[in-house]
């Protein structure tokens, strides 16, 4: 099964999504990331979505869900790399999760 790598850098986790997301992969990432936060005690999660051409509403909700779970586990989430055109095609759902997900411009 395809997996997205999660790298540990000090107190932070780095996730670079380089493949097209589908529901099963998104759920797998969510599970893997929460397990890694618990195992490492990470204080922050950086999710790079610069390689994604499309962030539809389901991916936006998934990123918001990851941010919510991360916050419960005492880790802040920052999403970076959203292309300008992506926001107009579904990234709106991600930005609606504003209390949970910070963009690089807000940090």
Between 22 and 15, where is the model more confident?
15
Residue at 23 is within a domain: yes
CA distance 40 to 12: 9
Range list of β-strands (E), the chain: 6-9, 12-16, 44-48, 76-80, 101-103
Residue at 86 is within a domain: yes
CATH number of residue 85's parent domain: 3.30.750.24
The boundaries of the domain holding residue 91 are 6-102
For 66-104, the pLDDT digits (tens) are 899 999 999 999 988 887 766 555 555 555 544 445 555
For 20-76, the pLDDT digits (tens) are 888 888 889 999 999 999 999 999 999 999 888 877 777 788 888 889 999 999 999
Structure tokens at 45: 């999660």
Residue at 63 is within a domain: yes
Structurally, the chain folds into a number of domains equal to 1
Strand order in the sheet with 12-16: 6-9, 12-16, 44-48, 76-80, 101-103
Whether this prediction's pTM lies above 0.85 is answered by: no
Residue at 11 is within a domain: yes
For 55, half-sphere exposure in the C-beta direction (CA atoms, 13 angstrom radius) is 28
* Strand partners for 7: 14
């Amino acid at each position: 099964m395809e997996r997205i790598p999660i790298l540990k850098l000090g107190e932070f986790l780095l996730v670079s999504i380089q493949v097209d997301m589908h529901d099963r992969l998104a759920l797998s990432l969510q599970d893997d990331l929460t397990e890694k936060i618990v195992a490492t005690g990470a204080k922050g999660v950086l999710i790079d979505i610069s390689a994604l051409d499309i962030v539809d509403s389901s991916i936006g909700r998934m990123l918001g869900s990851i941010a919510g779970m991360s916050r419960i586990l005492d880790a802040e989430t920052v999403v970076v790399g959203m292309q300008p055109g992506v926001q107009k095609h579904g990234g709106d759902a991600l930005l609606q999760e504003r209390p949970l997900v910070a963009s690089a411009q807000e940090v």
